[in-house]
Structure 1
């Protein structure tokens, strides 16, 4: 790889690591210990999860309206710094509830901006033939961020929860510095580039089918992304060691997600790979309801961790490959769909918990929704439509 491509890969990897891996999933990893240390109720902890989803939706909406030029670098730096500051502000107890809600919203906004703007910068600064490999390396940062969040779990009985949050803040500060240095390398390229007006792109049933299943995955992912650690702790009654082990498996799976999608796409093409990944996703969620062996819990942790970044990466790259210049706008739409469904779904699952719906019933609901989304994708790609894409 050329030096520029290495810088782009590192930049995107760090952006995804901070925006999704740390700003989003650190909360899930630290939730049980934070609830206990800060004396939060279950409903308030769930509300904070929804506040983060609301922020993510807001960030995606703002990113869609930002100009596609060198100003993106400034917004990325602001988003990274705001996200880092939100971690620091969540490290201290005894603040009003509105304080934590506000900073979880800020964290979500930062994540939404980084998710859309960073891949857009990469798309403008690299050659077409290099996009697949750069995006594969970059989106692996989601798993890297989840792994960073797991580093504290074996030691949470030895360090304070405040220390864990501040260490995460330290990681985020280092990433902010690296992003600022890397972005300096891209400003000249973005300034010299003539930003063409994006032509109106006709969106066919294939694009809408892709959006439907992507939105369904957002809904199906909620129980694992928001309640998984809580489920293992309070529903299954696992010890801290086994909870940590499950979350570490989740983090390892996340780190391998983009690689799994990359390998499948190289062999089978984008749409066939997406159908394979979504089918595995359905199975990974469903097996949590069986409860016949702890091995199934391990498998669910690993594969749900792997499959979310896998489908995010491959969906993003498929849109980039199909629509080129319209990528930023269409990826913003996809992220808005994902964020909107996650917010609605998060509130829905919280309501279901309030009305006594069990975790197992919630996992079944998630399985059914993703199954329906995958079936409609299989229907619209049953012919040779997927072959109309450029070969990777």
Structure 2
């Protein structure tokens, strides 16, 4: 009997980590590759005369728009089918979109498939992690969610390393290569999703008397997460150009800083999750806001290469690293209202997507109208993170 219990426990742990692997594969396909791999592909698309520069930029916006639509539609999908079914379908959709984009039939064709790939990414972001985390012991949820979102960091790193290598074989071959990678990851994840009726781990006894979360606490978290999106945009869009043209270091140096950004993105979710397991999600978030504030402000006040490297790695780490912290905080606030967790996470993801899109367009406009003032952009990003930290501290004081 004892060995039977041990074997059952081991099988349960094995299933959980299969689920974590499935979640990491989903984030790698839906966000890491479908969104970030397009960045190094854009110059090649223009250079190969698939589309002119004036319209190619809209194809990047198509994925962002689809992501927002997917985040909004995820709840509707979940009401009509099992989470595992939706997650498998979204990964298949992303794979098909990679194949379709290998053939530039027309602008509308390409735009539609980029939009559909964005839908898959938004739905995967909203549904994948909560589906897995519900079956992970509370003491390990930070690390598990960090492992799931490491896929985003791997995609960022791949955008600066693997994609340029694939491009040597040709643009069509690159899209097909991404499709093959996506297909393999879909196969890896296929049977890793937990069954919907599997029991979730019980909460520790000491939390049973916790009060239901107040709406202001959740609203504050949504505002903080959206502001965090604004803070990330200057590095995500302008870092390489700032190093290459703003500091006159050249394209190769800019690419090196993007690789550092990608290396930070790989480690970020795991480190953030580990911090949350040790300190709690609320405290870990405050540390994250403060570190990001410092890192985003560095390019605004210094051109020192060493400091810029630190800035690149730190912001790269929190680009995906902030996600498991906010997800964990949502679940923490709604620990006794599990039915509300996915809806709250969907609203948080939607707010993040909206502010990220608005910030991308707004900062691009400011950059153009200011005559190329990079430091202004980093100052705005740092200010957004300072406000996020202030909102979090004020909300914590109000709750106490």
**What is the TM-score with the length of structure 2 in the denominator?**
0.83
What are the residue-to-residue correspondences of 1:116-127 with 2, within 5 Å? 116-127=126-137
187, 190, 200: which one aligns with 2:196:
190
SS in 2 for 1:369: helix
Report whether the alignment pairs 1:10 with 2:21: yes
What are the residue-to-residue correspondences of 1:363-378 with 2, within 5 Å? 363-378=378-393
SS in 1 for 2:48: helix
Note the C-alpha offset of 1:256.
0.9
Quote the RMSD (CA, aligned, Å): 2.8
User: CA separation in 2, counterparts of 1:283 and 1:133?
Assistant: 24
SS in 2 for 1:181: coil
Report whether the alignment pairs 1:73 with 2:84: yes
Worse-superposed segment, 141-150 or 14-23: 141-150
> Which structure would you say has the larger RCO, counting Cα contacts within 8 Å and 6 or more residues apart?
1
Query: Are the aligned partners of 2:218 and 2:333 in contact in 1 as well (CA < 8 Å)?
Result: no
Query: Are the aligned partners of 2:51 and 2:107 in contact in 1 as well (CA < 8 Å)?
Result: no
Note the C-alpha offset of 1:144.
2.0
Unaligned runs of 5+ in 1: 195-200, 386-392
93, 101, 104: which one aligns with 1:90:
101
Note the C-alpha offset of 1:45.
4.3
User: CA separation in 1, counterparts of 2:57 and 2:367?
Assistant: 10
Report whether the alignment pairs 1:140 with 2:150: yes
Unaligned runs of 5+ in 2: 1-9, 201-211
Report whether the alignment pairs 1:332 with 2:342: no
306, 327, 331: which one aligns with 1:316:
327
1:345 equivalent in structure 2:
359
- Cα-to-partner distance string for 1:340-389 (whole Å, 9 max, x where unaligned): 1122223323433453552332222222222222222122224774xxxx
SS in 2 for 1:25: coil
SS in 2 for 1:320: helix
Distance 1:36 1:367, change over 3 A: farther
- Cα-to-partner distance string for 1:227-253 (whole Å, 9 max, x where unaligned): 444444454454453233222211110
Note the C-alpha offset of 1:161.
3.7
**What is the TM-score with the length of structure 1 in the denominator?**
0.85
Distance 1:136 1:152, change over 3 A: closer
Note the C-alpha offset of 1:123.
3.6
User: CA separation in 1, counterparts of 2:148 and 2:334?
Assistant: 20
Note the C-alpha offset of 1:73.
1.6
